[in-house]
Chain A
Amino acid sequence: LPQIKINGVEHNIDADPQMPLLWAIRDIVGLTGTKFGCGVGACGACTVHMAGQAVRSCLTSLADAQGHEIVTIEGLSADGTHPVQRAWEANNVPQCGYCQAGQIMQAAALLKQTPKPTDQQIVDAMTGNICRCGTYQRIRQAIKSAAESV
């Protein structure tokens, strides 16, 4: 059975190793903060961290995830106080909220790798995360304010 560590907890996933990680996270482990958007890696709603990198969990098989540490939106911080989450609240980023878990995970990975990103680096890192409500300006502002507090 694929054994995967999610948010610090080891899980023996009783499923086909080709099952996308997203489905295991949501339907088997029960962590539904990570969202299904397109299923083909085109929207970024399902973004999680694998070994510290932002990945699209809809395109990552359980076989690929095995042995790596996975972090979902629920594990980003214990109480929603990660600098990116704080910045999201301070800047009133979300509208409908559906894409926001993926946006936050993508932004958190960016700041972990590049603590003081330029505007262009922010655009480049976030370009694969789509927001139908169009909250892009506030997303960029929140990332910049989070970068100042990191």
Chain B
Amino acid sequence: MTTITNLSRRGLLKGAAATSGLVLGFHVGFRKLPFAQAAEGAQFQPNVFLSIDDTGLVTIVASRSEMGTGIKTDLPLVLADELEADWSWVKVVQAQGDPKYGDQNTDGSRSTWQFFEPMRKAGATARQMLETAAAQTWNAPASECRAQNSFGPRPQWAQTTLWPARAARSRFAGSAAGSDTTQGPEGLALYRQTSPDRRPRRHYPGPGHLRHRRGHPGYEICLDRALPGLWRQGEVL
């Protein structure tokens, strides 16, 4: 039987203390897929998809490959949406091939349904941790410290980013919280309340569009390898 080890939030944040930002790991809970099977008997490695630095820049790792379906935008957008992060402050980074990201096989129309929930949970959990840190910072009830597109809701907080990662990190690293990172802080609803029109329905341009129009979509590592004499293979046809 596959064993997936729960990592406490406290442990994760302590581990992140050496980095420049808040780093949140979360579980990808599909046990029956090849990645989990391949990990049989081995300790589960948490996937690290999200980091927030002290300037408020949100970096989200796209673990699946962009092949025209928009998945490099789609999955980070799910996380950013639940995080209440302003998309203009989000930087999407393409993951290298690495087992720590789980199954990176991008085919079969599986990426969204496999990763929608894990990405959503990662965003929601991080948002609630930051909201809790903000409530402690401002000495206000947590219910009044709901994030709104990266900023606090009250007029006096309107220009104050909710993402002071250093403060959040120090607070949570010192807390006694030890639950699964996907469950969120005690007593808080995991997902934010949604309304159909809260996020503007507009096109979110993919990360590579400026490169596309110059003929360099970003797959050059494997496609631009030159093999001498290969052109002559066409003469066989």
**Interface residues of A, Cβ cutoff 8 Å to B:** 19-20, 23, 26-27, 32-35, 39-40, 72-74, 80, 85, 88-89, 92-98, 100-101, 104, 132-133
Number of residues of chain B lying within 8 A (CB) of chain A: 29
| B82 contacts across to A, CB distance below 8 A | none
Interface of chain B residues 209 through 230 with chain A (CB within 8 A):
209-220, 223-224, 226, 228, 230
Docked pose: A39 CA to B224 CA in angstroms? 15
Nearest-neighbor residue (CB-CB) of B224 within chain A: A32
Contact between B234 and A20, CB atoms less than 8 A apart = yes
Cβ–Cβ contact B203 & A80, under 8 A? no
Give the interface SS of chain A, mostly helix, strand, loop or mixed.
loop
Bound CA–CA A1/B217 (angstroms): 32
A35 touches B215 (CB 8 A): yes
How many angstroms between the C-alpha atoms of A34 and B224 in the bound complex? 10
Which of B13-21, B63-71, B87-95, B116-124 forms contacts with chain A? B63-71
Q: B231 an interface residue at 8 Å Cβ cutoff?
A: yes
> Is B67 a contact partner of A80 (Cβ separation < 8 A)?
no
For B70, B203, B215, B223, the residue with the greatest tally of chain A CB atoms inside 10 Å of its CB is B215
Contact B234 A32, beta carbon cutoff 8 Å: no
Is A74 in contact with B214, judged by CB distance below 8 angstroms?
A: yes
A34, B217: Cα distance in complex, Å: 11
- A85 contacts B231, CB within 8 Å? no
Q: Which residue of A lies closest to B233 (CB)?
A: A39
Which residues of chain B are within 8 angstroms of A92 by Cβ–Cβ distance?
203, 205-206, 209
- B67 CB, nearest partner CB in chain A, Å: 5
CA distance A132 to B230 in the complex (A): 24
Given pairs A32-B224, A94-B206, 15 additional interface contacts (CB within 8 A): A23-B230, A23-B231, A26-B226, A80-B213, A80-B214, A94-B209, A95-B68, A95-B69, A97-B208, A97-B211, A98-B217, A100-B212, A101-B214, A104-B215, A133-B69
CB of B237 closer than 8 Å to a CB of A: yes
**Distance A133 CA – B217 CA, assembled complex (angstroms):** 14
Determine if A89 and B210 form an interchain contact, defined as CB atoms under 8 angstroms apart. Answer: yes
Chain A residues whose CB sits within 8 angstroms of the CB of B68 once the complex forms: 95-97, 132-133
Which residues of chain A are near B66, meaning CB under 8 Å? 96
Smallest beta-carbon distance A93→chain B, Å: 8
Give bound CA distance, A1 to B200, whole Å.
58
Instruction: Please indicate which of the listed interface residues A35, A95, A100 has the most CB atoms of chain B within 10 Å of its own CB.
Output: A95
